[in-house]
Amino acid sequence: MYGRASPVETVSIDFARAAADLRLEKRLHDVPTAARMRGIFFAMLRDGLDRRNLIVVPEVRRLLSETHKSYRFYPVSDFLEAYALGGALVNSDPREGIRELFSENVRYFASTWYGNALARFLKPDPTAALAWLERSREHVANYGKWRLERRGPSHVILHMFDEYFWIDSAHRGGCEGLLAACGVAGEVHAELDDDYNGRLHIRWDVRQRP
């Protein structure tokens, strides 16, 4: 356990408990050593923690001290450890913390050179943006697979296979952030087959306009 200082208060973080809640040790064991993700996800995490004045926490500084190039691939295990810590710092429930961080990532991603293409699809119908993410999956990660199933004008299912990030928190939050970025009201429900396979039911109000 360690403390972190902020302009408002000092909070103690029991990272061992958070890691247990997230089953982090099992994920780090199960993720293939060759699994890689683009460094832009480190930049997203750094931005989220910096805006909360949490970047000065010693453990955060250790994990994010390296300058990560947004276009380079890095081990997924490094991302898991970093986001587990970030989630625990942001919320007493680390899963909710990760969900919150990922919900903010869409707007950050769309503002970068790499995400400019996504920005074109942020419009009242989120289907185009979700389809772009499905097509672009192999460009940001070299493991797993996503498949988008269209169920209606305001309902899609994003199927995820061999996904080592938390489907029910990280990717749920990411899709919630996408709906918000599109300016629509909606909800995202996670359905898991196991820790690394499942689907997200994404629904929104077709009458909503930004």
The pLDDT value recorded for residue 8 is 35
* Domain range list for the chain: 2-109, 120-204
Q: Strands, E, within 96-136: which ranges?
A: none
The pLDDT value recorded for residue 115 is 60
The pLDDT value recorded for residue 1 is 42
39-70 confidence digits (pLDDT tens): 888 888 988 898 888 888 888 888 787 778 87
110 or 78: which carries more pLDDT confidence? 78
Cα–Cα dist 143/145, whole Å: 7
The pLDDT value recorded for residue 210 is 45
User: With 70 as the cut, is the pLDDT of residue 118 above it?
Assistant: no
178 or 59: which carries more pLDDT confidence? 178
* Average pLDDT score, the chain: 86
Q: Are 117 and 189 in contact (CB under 8 A)?
A: no
Nearest to 165 by CA among 23, 18, 54: 23
CA atoms within 13 A on the CB side of 56: 9
User: With 60 as the cut, is the pLDDT of residue 3 above it?
Assistant: no
User: With 80 as the cut, is the pLDDT of residue 11 above it?
Assistant: no
Which DSSP symbol is given to 66?
S
User: With 70 as the cut, is the pLDDT of residue 5 above it?
Assistant: no
Query: 7: pLDDT confidence band, cut at 50, 70 and 90?
Result: very low
Biggest CA-to-CA distance, the chain: 48
* 171 phi-psi bin (left φ>0, alpha ψ -120 to 50, beta other): alpha
* Section 135-156 average pLDDT: 94
CATH class of 120-204: alpha beta
Q: What is the model's pTM?
A: 0.86
Query: 9: pLDDT confidence band, cut at 50, 70 and 90?
Result: very low
* Section 155-169 average pLDDT: 97
150 or 5: which carries more pLDDT confidence? 150
